[in-house]
Structure 1
């Protein structure tokens, strides 16, 4: 029987979730997906700018930046999902030793 490859301990899903809730794209960076995190951050900024320019001052703050908030929510869920998957994969590799 071969020994499983030693994987470095990934970031805790709770920590990734906390960071991703505050900074768009940083959860992906913590998961080792820097390009994906950068893409999420720039997409959020771009869509926030577009939605801001398509609305009027009568709209609420959230309404004016709705595109950015939507991408932020998607990036948040994606970062947590990947962190949880990596954590479970690491834990199962530890049990096989």
Structure 2
């Protein structure tokens, strides 16, 4: 495993970054193209849902498509960060046991 010595960012840090900036959690995890895809998809679906709804809808309702993708990106970034973090911790434990 090539990342045994490189500590990945803590999953909660990735979660916080992803909460405020859609797609940046993926960038922090080392998947910039995935983050860019999430950000543009969120913007595109927010635009579509805004144009398909009327003025009688709430703010969240008007931008529901973007909020949906934002939530998916948030869960995706945290999941990948948690997996990387646990793999790193496991590798550190095995390295300490081998010494």
Q: TM-score with structure 1 length normalisation?
A: 0.93
Aligned with 1:31 (options 14, 24, 29): 29
User: Runs of 5+ in structure 2 lacking a partner?
Assistant: none
1:8: Cα distance to partner? Answer: 1.0
1:96: Cα distance to partner? Answer: 1.0
Q: Size of the alignment, in residue pairs?
A: 94
Instruction: Report the RMSD for the aligned CA atoms in angstroms.
Output: 1.0
CA offset digits 1:10-45 (Å, max 9, x no partner): 000010000011100000000000000000000000
User: Runs of 5+ in structure 1 lacking a partner?
Assistant: none
| CA–CA distance in structure 1, aligned partners of residues 89 and 36 of structure 2 | 28
The match for 1:57 is: 55
The match for 2:17 is: 19
Residue pairs, 1:62-81, within 5 angstroms: 62-81=60-79
